[in-house]
Structure 1
Amino acid sequence: MSESIGDVVLPGMKVEGTTEEVAVKIFEKIISPNTEMLLKKDPQAAATFALHIMGLGISQFASCVSTKQFKQQLEIITHNMVLSLKKERGELGS
């Protein structure tokens, strides 16, 4: 069983907009602030929290598309994210 991380703040809010806008608002208003709060207290707990959020999101996406679409999209997203991280972290060779 996982260790309790303490209070998670879910601000009272109404979220409206396109699917992308709603997803961004939920991330910005709920997930990101709680990850940042955890990062200050316990970086490993923050990483675990983010990993669980990622896994739940990926699982939800997988239930909405075909296996082929899931595999293709996950490969594209993963490739682009790794490339972006390498650029940000100066890990790309000149």
Structure 2
Amino acid sequence: MAAIVIKGWIDFILWIFILGILLWAFADCVIRRKEAFPAIGTMPKAGWLLVMVLLVVLTFFTGVNFFAFIGAGVAAYYLLDLRRGLREAAEGPW
């Protein structure tokens, strides 16, 4: 009985964490200029927004499953790699 409760809390915390990073990546994508995306050789801004909205909705309604982990990977890739490139493309390397 206690193991089920602990698993439920772990799933809830993981769900909140994944939704948080997905929403952070989505919000950052919204504020970036659309001209910066082709400049670094990636998918257009609309494509990134569509992918992230789809993953947020799937994660929100289905919980922690395959889509949630895919969403965490997409958000991590955007925040750790693309975000830096987008910032440099818009503002310069300095």
TM-score, normalised relative to structure 2: 0.32
Q: TM-score, normalised by structure 1?
A: 0.32
Q: Which has the higher contact order (CA 8 A, sep 6+)?
A: 2
Instruction: Give the number of the structure whose residues are more often helix, by fraction.
Output: 2
